[in-house]
């Protein structure tokens, strides 16, 4: 879907990205992570030509991005940023309708799309449709920001630390929404963060950057089990490394297919082992039931199976 071929970017003779090669496949949830100043935002903004690359070639949907007019390219790529950037003088619905209006959709189609997106992002349309951004909480504003980015059903979604300024609880629920939206829509997402837990939770692939170069590009599991070097190990952290390992494993993959009717409490198949462990500690128990998404019991999870 997106392909960086030997990309270099220099700002006033200072090279910030050097020889970058990266392919983001259709449907991938690709998370770029690295310390501040490592070039994450620059890479992201080169995709929609908010920043022009200095050398090499970037392809979008098989075509060099410079073969598109920048505006045409950008209207096909959703864009959400940490500071949200809602238009303060427009209502929530007008904000969401930005790109469809630019594309000249008819009113009925825009109406329907606004309703659909507000439902998708868990925004109460009756309350918020005609509200102005300053009447919304930070979390609600970012929900509108994400809805606006998704409005014209773009092929690709670019997100630059979208949840970085939110409190942990709000961030947690928005991360869950993003996972669900990715699963439901199959969109290609390129997501920038400096929070490793967020990366491990969301990514189908994590790209670790340092000083404008890719240090490692791998699935969360591969990353945890085979960090490429000390920099990656450092970045993964020491104290809660074990918990991170558990966070990329699901209860469904480690449960026993045994009857768990005798156990009162249960987690879901797709819940992480980290969550399951947390519940066990909180409930002072060494076993939990496992249920599928319909609430039917499908297995039993033992503490011993988590640890080994």
Partner 1 sequence: MAIHNRPLCLLALLLLVGALALPFLSHAPNRLISGQPVPLWTLGSGAWLVLLPGLALLAGPFLPQRRRTVGLLALAALLLLVGLVHAAALGAELLAQDAGRAARTSFGAGFWVMALAAVLALADLVARAGPGPVLRLVIGLAAALPILAMVLSGHLDQLSILKEYANRADQFQAALLRHAVIVLAALLPTLAFGVPLGVLAHRRRRLGASILSGLNLVQTVPSIAIFGLLIAPLSALATLVPAARALGISGIGLAPAVIALTLYSLLPIVRNTAAGLAQVPASAIDAARGMGMTRRQVFWKVEAPLALPVFLSGLRITVVQAIGLAAVAALIGAGGLGAIMFQGLFSNALDLILLGALPIIAFAALADALFKAAVDLSKRGSA
Binding site for Mg ion (CB under 5 A): 41
Nearest-CA neighbor of 270 among 289, 287, 249, 288? 249
Which of the choices Mg ion, partner 1, ligand ADP, none does residue 71 contact, using the CB cut-off of 5 to 8 A by kind?
partner 1
Q: How far is the CB of 142 from partner 1 (least distance, A)?
A: 12
**What residues between 17 and 56 interact with partner 1 by CB under 8 A?**
45, 48, 50
Q: Distance of alpha carbon 156 from its chain centroid, rounded? A: 12
Q: How far is the CB of 162 from Mg ion (least distance, A)?
A: 12
Site string for ligand ADP, 21-60 (x = CB under 6 A): -------------x-xxxxxxx------------------
- 61 contacts partner 1 (rule: CB under 8 A): no
**What residues between 66 and 85 interact with partner 1 by CB under 8 A?**
70-75, 79, 81, 83-85
* Closest CB to partner 1 among residues 132, 231: 132
How buried is residue 168: exposed, middle or buried, by Cβ count under 10 Å (0-12/13-18/19+)?
exposed
Which of the choices partner 1, ligand ADP, Mg ion, none does residue 89 contact, using the CB cut-off of 5 to 8 A by kind?
partner 1
* Closest CB to partner 1 among residues 105, 231: 105
What is the DSSP pairing of strand 63-64 with strand 55-60? antiparallel
* Closest CB to partner 1 among residues 24, 151: 151
């Amino acid at each position: 879907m997106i392909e960086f071929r030997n990309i270099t970017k220099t700002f006033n003779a200072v090279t910030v990205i050097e020889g970058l090669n990266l392919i983001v496949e259709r449907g991938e949830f690709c998370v770029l992570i690295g310390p501040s100043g490592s070039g994450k935002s620059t890479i992201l903004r080169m995709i929609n030509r908010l920043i022009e690359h200095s050398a090499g070639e970037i392809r979008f949907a098989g075509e060099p991005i410079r073969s598109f007019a920048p505006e045409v390219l950008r209207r096909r790529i959703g864009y959400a940023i940490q500071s949200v950037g809602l238009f303060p003088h427009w209502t929530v619905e007008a904000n969401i309708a930005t790109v469809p209006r630019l594309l000249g959709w008819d009113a009925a189609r825009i109406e329907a799309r606004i309703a659909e997106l507000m439902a998708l992002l868990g925004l109460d349309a009756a309350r918020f449709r005609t509200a102005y951004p300053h009447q919304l909480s930070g979390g609600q504003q970012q929900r509108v920001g994400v809805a606006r980015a998704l409005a014209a059903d773009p092929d690709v979604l670019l997100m630059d630390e979208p949840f970085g300024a939110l409190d942990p609880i709000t961030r947690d629920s928005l991360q869950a929404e993003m996972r669900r939206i990715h699963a439901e829509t199959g969109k290609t997402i390129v997501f920038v963060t400096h929070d490793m837990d967020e990366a491990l939770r969301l990514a189908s692939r994590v790209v670790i950057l340092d000083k404008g170069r890719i240090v490692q590009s791998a699935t969360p599991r591969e990353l945890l089990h085979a960090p490429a070097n000390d920099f990656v190990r450092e970045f993964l952290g020491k104290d809660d490394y074990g918990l991170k390992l558990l966070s990329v494993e699901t209860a469904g993959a480690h449960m026993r297919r045994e009857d768990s009717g005798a156990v009162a409490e249960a987690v879901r198949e797709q819940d992480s082992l980290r969550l399951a462990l947390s519940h066990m500690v909180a409930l002072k128990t060494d076993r939990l039931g496992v249920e599928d998404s319909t609430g039917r019991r499908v297995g039993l999870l033992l503490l011993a199976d988590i640890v080994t």
